[in-house]
Copies of this chain bind each other. A is one copy, B any other.
Amino acid sequence: MGRAPQKRRIETRQRLLDAAGDIVAEAGFAGLRVDEVVARAGVAKGTFFAHFPDKDRLLAELIGARMQAALADIAAGPPPDDVEALADRLAPLYAIMASERAVFDIVVRYSGAALETEPTEITRNFVAQDELLTGWIARLQARGLRRDVPARLLAEGVQAFATQAIALHFCVLHDPVPIDDRIRPYLRAWLTRDVALS
């Protein structure tokens, strides 16, 4: 364990994050250049990589922060009472993930902790999603949801379908359906034992 980080380091890191945030606001995540970030933050290029192992990790940091905010918002409300309400509640989170192709790519890459690296905010977000969903689903299993499968597996499945739906969203073979509408049929089929009856 090294020493605690100096105040200067904290400030530099924040300046880098702020500069990056500004650039994203102007040019999107895909338009972010490391040279531009360090220029705006007023530091040398090497400093950037003393704070972030690579460019993608900075993006993951920014995206993870947005996802955490959205998830906190979602978790703050009451648990949903059926599958449709559940889909409604998750929509804002998925909107972030699908906001840009570059964002989705980063989310997918870091949704599971990469083997070598420290977990990112995105990884933690997915773990938190898992817990929230598992709780919601376990509660709904007392109210008509399928009970033949553990709540945790169902929760993981929800994430699988969300990824699939967003991936299809970036695909031209399929009509430009809103992702929310695309996720819903999956969730109905996955979470209920008999769609015709629900």
Contact = CB atoms under 8 A, between A and B. Distances in A.
A9 B112 CA distance: 42
Contacts of A186: 153, 156-157, 160
B108 A173 contact: no
A160 B164 contact: yes
A112 B167 CA distance: 7
Given A149-B195, A153-B185, A195-B149, A113 B160 contact: no
A189 B193 CA distance: 10
Contacts of A189: 148-149, 153-154, 157, 190
Interface size range on A against B: 35 or more
Interface string A21-47: 000000000000000000000000000
**Identical copies of this chain, number:** 2
Contacts of A159: 164
A188 to B, nearest CB: 8
B108 A172 contact: no
A143 interface: no
Interface string A93-132: 0000000010001001101111100010001000100000
**Across chains A and B, which 9 residue pairs bring their CB atoms closest together, nearest first?**
A112-B171, A160-B164, A149-B189, A148-B195, A160-B160, A148-B196, A148-B194, A115-B172, A113-B173
